[in-house]
Structures are given as C-alpha cells and as structure tokens.
Amino acid sequence: MERLDKHFEKLAAASFARYGFAYGELLARWTEIAGAETARLCTPQRIKWPRGGGDDKRKLSGTIVLRAEPGCGLEVQHLVPLILERVNQFYGFGAISAAVVQQGSSPSSKILKNKGKFIDPSILRAIDERTNQVADDDLKAALRRLGAGVLAARQTSPQDE
C-alpha cells in the first residue's frame, strides 16, 4: 500500500502555486521554520511575488502575508525580522524581503468541542462492546471517540419540543 504523502506534492502543487508558495513544505513545516511560539501566534497565508519575475524557481523580493491571531498583531509585527530570516534560511536564499501582518483567526485555531451533546450510557456500552476486539489501543480509543461523536444526541431545550 502506498502512502498518500508520496503523491501529495504533485496533487497540491497547483493550489500552493496559486497562493505563491513554491512548495507546500513552508506550510507543512511552519512550526519548525518559525519556531513553536511564533507559529502559535501567526500562520502564513500567501506569498506575493513581484511582477515580471518570470518562472525562475529562485524568485526574489517576495512579500509573505501572515495571519496573526487576535490580539497578537503587534507582537507578530515585532517578530517580522526574525520570521523573514528564518523563512529565507529555509529557502536557502533571500526569497522574502517583506511581510504584511493581518489580524484574524486561522481556521486551525478554532477548538472543536462536543458542546451541548450528551451520550446515553447504553450507547457507550455498545461502542465498548464493538471495539473490544480491536488490538491496537490507539485505534480503539479513536474508534470510541468517533462512535461517541457520531452517536451523541444534541440536547434540546424544552421550548423546542
């Protein structure tokens, strides 16, 4: 069986190119490139390249657009020189010369919760019975979470009835 990541770069190349990323590796390795603390504060949205740069793989003087978490814009603005240095170090040459910081939540920062849902204990027992045969503990726990999430009933207000 082949792994999907082997073909991912070819499949996603057009999408990444649309947003100015020469390769999606900058997005995939953002935490490693920017550092854990900086990556928690902001994420790259796109890279704008100057017009007339041609199709040369070593584009220069790009502008990286960063989305800063709410309330972190000023801090990210102060980190821009460090971010530019780290991104250029990743590319291996001076690809990025400027940064634009935009304030707003990144989609990955929103925490999904099972709010307002309850699970009947009999359903939990049924899920446990069905997953007991699974030998891998991590897989068993994941299947239990999935089953609980799918089968949970949303609590309703008496006014809704």
Q: What is the pLDDT of residues 99-157, one digit of tens each?
A: 999 998 766 544 445 455 667 788 888 888 989 998 998 898 888 888 887 877 655 55
Cα distances (Å, whole numbers) of residue 151 to 56, 104, 117, 141 = 52, 33, 10, 15
| Per-residue model confidence (pLDDT) at position 106 | 64
**Domain span holding position 135:** 117-160
Residue 93: pLDDT above 90?
no
Q: 75 falls in which pLDDT band (50, 70, 90)? A: very high
73 and 122 inside one domain: no
Region 69-87 average pLDDT = 94
77 and 17 inside one domain: yes
34 and 81 inside one domain: yes
Residue that wins the pLDDT comparison between 126 and 23: 126
Residue that wins the pLDDT comparison between 132 and 19: 132
33 and 102 inside one domain: yes
64 and 30 inside one domain: yes
- Which residue, among 107, 104, 86, 88, has the nearest Cα to 96 in the 3D structure? 88
Mean pLDDT of the chain: 78
State whether residue 101 is helix, strand or coil: strand
pTM to 2 decimal places: 0.53
Structure tokens at 13: 């190349």
- Within-domain flag for 112: no
Region 89-94 average pLDDT = 86
Residue 42: pLDDT above 60?
yes
35 and 96 inside one domain: yes
Our count of domains for the chain comes to 2
Under 8 Å CB-to-CB from 41, ≥6 apart: which residues?
Answer: 68, 69, 72, 75, 76, 79
